[in-house]
A = this chain, B = another copy of it.
Amino acid sequence: MPDSNYTPQTVVKRLPVYLRVLDNLLRREVEVISSKELSSETGFTAEQIRKDLAYFGAFGTRGTGYQTSYLREKILKIIGLDQKTPIIIIGAGHLGIALTRYNVTNNPYVRVIAVFDNDPEVVGQKIMHIEILGVSEMERIIREYNIKVAVLAVPADKAQQVVDELTGYGIRAVLNFAPTKINVPAGIQVHNADLAIELQSLIYYSSSEEERMNRLKKSKEKKGEKEIETGQ
């Protein structure tokens, strides 16, 4: 029963793109924007943009378009970015450090409260002004700051165990960079940001259609042979 207020995930994923474009437009002091112009800025169709926004309300003016700053405010509210979201990052390896720096410098909508690691060598150090804490401090920090969102940058073999802990402490959404499937109770969101998988699926497209078809043909032929060999 997808209740009447259900919004497809595919729509939700586009909202931050709209937000970014609106931020850029405001910087350029563009005060009004049509769905057609938003289309050329985002790469999504104008129809899709209008339909996406219609899930949440009617924010435009017929004949004119959308008031940039007003639409931005609305989208901020819809996503829940009207206040800075406190987040934590688990894992202070190279990726964890890069993600911390990235979010501190480039993501104005979140506040990185702390980074956690189990290596005593790095605990106590700082990434920019953010402290690296031992994992034993996780529960305290999560509860103290009422943190709901965690970024996971730990090795694959530690990921499930860490997420079990996190959900136990009240975390509701995890951005998982560990290359492994994670099981969570209903209602908890895990989004996978699997860099190796992204790259590998891209490699599929890096050969021409012709090369792919040749590989495929060879694949099918070999299967044929194999069946004959073993089929007797």
Q: Given contacts A173-B206, A195-B99, is CB(A81)–CB(B200) below 8 Å?
A: yes
Let me know if B193 and A193 touch, CB within 8 A.
yes
Q: What count of chain A residues pass the 8 Å CB interface test?
A: 73
Chain B residues lying within 8 Å of A85, measured Cβ to Cβ, are: 203, 206
- Measured between C-beta atoms, what is the minimum distance from A214 to chain B in Å? 10
Chain B residues lying within 8 Å of A208, measured Cβ to Cβ, are: 172
Q: Judge whether A223 is part of the interface by a CB distance below 8 angstroms.
A: yes
Q: Given contacts A95-B102, A204-B15, is CB(A151)–CB(B199) below 8 Å?
A: yes
Closest to A85 in B: B203
Q: How far apart sit A95 and B106, CA to CA, in the bound complex (Å)?
A: 12
Let me know if A175 and B199 touch, CB within 8 A.
yes
Q: Judge whether A94 is part of the interface by a CB distance below 8 angstroms.
A: yes
Binds B, one of A56-64, A114-122, A131-139, A160-168: A56-64
Q: Given contacts A59-B223, A97-B94, A196-B103, is CB(A78)–CB(B216) below 8 Å?
A: yes
Q: Judge whether A42 is part of the interface by a CB distance below 8 angstroms.
A: yes
B-facing mask of A4-47, CB < 8 A → 1, else 0? 01000000110111011000000000000000000001110000
Chain B residues lying within 8 Å of A56, measured Cβ to Cβ, are: 216, 219-220
Going nearest first, the 7 A-B pairs with the smallest beta carbon separation are A98-B98, A16-B200, A173-B206, A148-B206, A189-B205, A94-B98, A16-B197
Q: List 11 A-B contacts (CB under 8 A).
A: A5-B212, A5-B213, A20-B197, A42-B181, A78-B215, A81-B203, A94-B101, A173-B202, A173-B205, A174-B202, A175-B199
